[in-house]
Amino acid sequence: MKIQNYFIMSLFASSLIIACNSNGKKNDSDSEKLTGSIKIDGSSTVYPITEAVAEEYRNDQPEVKVTIGVSGTGGGMKKFERKEIDICDASRKIKEEEANACKDNKIEYYDFEVAYDGLAVIVNPQNDWAQNITVAELKMIWEPSAQEKITKWSQVRKGWPDAPLHLFGPGTASGTYDYFTEAIVGKSGSSRGDYTASEDDNVLVQGIEGDKYGLGFFGLAYFEENKAKLKLVAVDNGKGPVAPSVTTVKDGTYAPLSRPLFIYINKEAFKRPEVASFVKFYLENAASVVGEVGYVPLSKEEYAAQLEKLKADSNIK
């Protein structure tokens, strides 16, 4: 499976009806055949995982229609708060104001970790000076006070060229943006505004690919899918430069830009058998599809713990 295939499809439709194909994943083929529909929206980072799971679920329950939109974690949460969707894909934990909005709207929810991801710092392949960058330098570049002031590579590190610094990153509705700003700047949602922003990671890929002086960030999985066009920059948090990889994300050495990924489920929607069945299927099969779409799976013990949490909270078997 290729992330690019999934993500390109999302550019041409706000939602997708998942087709089926068989891959030998866990299923409930002996269980009752269900009908109904499940509406999902949210993070573009979590989207390929959820789509891959839904594709396998469709084999098991072909009469259940699963639609998946991509409006960013923030956009998905707004729909979740308005009860427009059953499940929200999220590349960060729910914010306090979002949780309060759910409470005000009498929405209770389940939340589960489904994978790990690393945020990649990216430059153009012609960039022959930025092999690594420190967390302090990233903060210098991205903090609000840098706007219209830190505009050249030479201002970031002595010896780097006296050339323009062109920045690319996710838009403010993105959970990736929230996570990066919290990890690097120290406050979620706090950054300079004079950069090329997009909720579409392909726009960021194309921007950096076409700009020798470009620098940006997005999920590691999207770099892996486009690594022939881009160059990865190792991040130094004070313990030496570390490049993101399955190993460094999983063992936590790629800090502070490693993160868990989540799904949030409306408890009222969960009472519908098709939603409960899908969520259980998701947690049972995430381990086998996460790696296929370029992310880092939880350990067997961690997935088992998520399933136990589901069973304890919902009495599902």
Here the CATH number for the domain that contains residue 103 is 3.40.190.10
Q: Looking at the structure, do residues 122 and 254 belong to the same domain, yes or no?
A: yes
Q: Looking at the structure, do residues 87 and 57 belong to the same domain, yes or no?
A: yes
Residue 145 sits in which domain range? 118-258
- The two three-digit tokens of residue 98, written as one number: 């979002």
Question: Is residue 225 scored above 90 in pLDDT?
Answer: no
Preceding amide of 256 cis, omega within 30? yes
Q: Looking at the structure, do residues 83 and 152 belong to the same domain, yes or no?
A: no
Number of domains comprising the chain: 2
Q: Looking at the structure, do residues 95 and 135 belong to the same domain, yes or no?
A: no
pLDDT tens, 27-80? 544 468 999 999 999 998 899 999 999 999 999 999 999 999 999 999 999 999
pLDDT tens, 66-124? 999 999 999 999 999 999 999 999 999 999 999 999 999 999 999 999 999 899 999 99
Q: Looking at the structure, do residues 230 and 274 belong to the same domain, yes or no?
A: no
Can you give the pTM of this predicted structure? 0.75
The phi, psi pair for 118, rounded to 5°, reads -115, 145
8 Å CB contact between 249 and 290: no
Report the mean per-residue pLDDT for the chain: 89
pLDDT tens, 270-304? 999 999 999 999 999 999 999 888 888 998 899 99
The dihedral of CA 18, 21, 25, 30: what is its sign?
positive
8 Å CB contact between 118 and 220: yes
